[in-house]
Amino acid sequence: MDFNNNDNLNNNLNNEHKDYIAGENFYMFNPQVEENTENTTEMNSVNSNYSEPKKVKIKMKNGTFRKAMSYVLVGVICATIGAGATLGSALYLLPKTDFFENTPLYEAVSKKSTSTTSSNSVSYNLHPTTVATEEGALTISEIAKKVGPAVVGVSTKSVAGIDWFGNEQISEGIGSGMIINEEGYVLTNQHVIAGATEVKVIFNNGKEVAAKVVNSDANHDIAIVKITEDVEVPGVVELGTSSSLQVGETVVAIGNPLGKEFLGSVTSGIVSAVNRKLGDKDIAYIQTDAAINSGNSGGPLVNSQGQVIGINTAKISSTGTVSVDGMGFAIPIDLVKDKLDDLSKPVPKLGIAGQSIDKTTAKQKGLVEGVFVAEVQDFSGAQMAGIRVGDIIVKFDGQTVKSVDEINKIKSKHAIGDKVEVEVYRYTDDEYKKFQVKLTE
Active site residue 113: no
Catalytic residue among 297, 304, 356, 380: 297
* Amino acid found at 384: M
Catalytic residue among 45, 171, 191, 216: 191
Measured distance CA(164)–CA(232) in Å, rounded: 44
Active site residue 127: no
* Amino acid found at 313: T
Active site residue 297: yes
β-partners of residue 223 are 188, 216
Q: Are 197 and 277 in contact (CB under 8 A)?
A: no
Catalytic residue among 19, 221, 358, 391: 221
- In degrees and rounded to multiples of 5, residue 233 shows phi and psi of -75, 140
Greatest Cα pair distance in the chain: 104
Reported residue count of the chain is: 441
Catalytic positions are: 191, 221, 297
